[in-house]
Amino acid sequence: MKILVGYKRVVDYNVRIQVKPDGSGVVTDGVKLSANPFDDIALEEALRLREKGVASEVIVVGIGPADLTAHLRNGLAMGANRAIHVVTGEAVQPLTAARVFLKLIEKEQPGLVILGKQAIDDDANQTGQMLAALWDRPQATFAGKVDISIEGGAGGKATVTREVDAGLEVIEAELPAVITVDLRLNEPRFIKLPDIMKAKAKPIDSIEFGSLAVEAHDHLKTTHYAPPARRSKGVMVKDAAELIAALKQKGLL
């Protein structure tokens, strides 16, 4: 069974985001870019399933400009068998990304697609759900635990424990399926130097976005970016009575 893993590049989560002076976007020049943390977790889970003998091949997929290759090499160094790079210089919204994945699914015929539940740059949390709808296959989102059982070497099912407001929910989904992962699923492995060297010999298939015949008519248009308003200074009060009086004065009580 093949496992297809989404592997998006985002501004590193340790970087303080700066908005461009003209409000047209965020500053990315000279800024550290890394794998989306949820996608690292998705890749780690796929690798563990391969190590258990559930899967035979793990393929990482990235959508982005020509210099995305170095990022995909990190996924290969982590342990993926090969990578697919869909080359485009344009920003890709969730629906377009889902359509791209559908085209790759038609070509690769994976038994499972694992994605991060969301990317930390837009926090959209939409691609996995949209892909499942377009593919007309089951989905299990916010996975905190994944068990895959294969019957007779084909088909099989995924048993997924996911976090919901009331606690934990366990669902079963027939394969092929789409799973999106949450932070508590696993701890991604560290990349070792020998693995980085081995990754240089692993294949990366480059596909031009235009060759996929994907509709790229994005429905969302961002008109302006702005940083959050600065927090006002706190107010010191002497006792509880003064606190209650201050809250009443602000109309909060």
8-12: long-range pairs with CB below 8 Å, 24+: 8/35, 8/36, 8/39, 8/62, 8/63, 8/64, 8/116, 8/119, 8/121, 9/33, 9/34, 9/35, 9/36, 9/62, 9/64, 9/68, 9/71, 10/34, 10/35, 10/36, 10/119, 10/120, 10/121, 11/121
The CATH number linked to 156 is 3.40.50.620
Domain residues for the domain of 96 are: 2-249
At 102-121, the pLDDT tens digits run 999 999 999 999 999 999 98
**Residue 26 banded pLDDT, cuts 50, 70, 90:** confident
Q: What is the pTM of this model?
A: 0.85
Residues of the chain with pLDDT > 70: what percent? 97
What is the tally of structural domains in the chain? 1
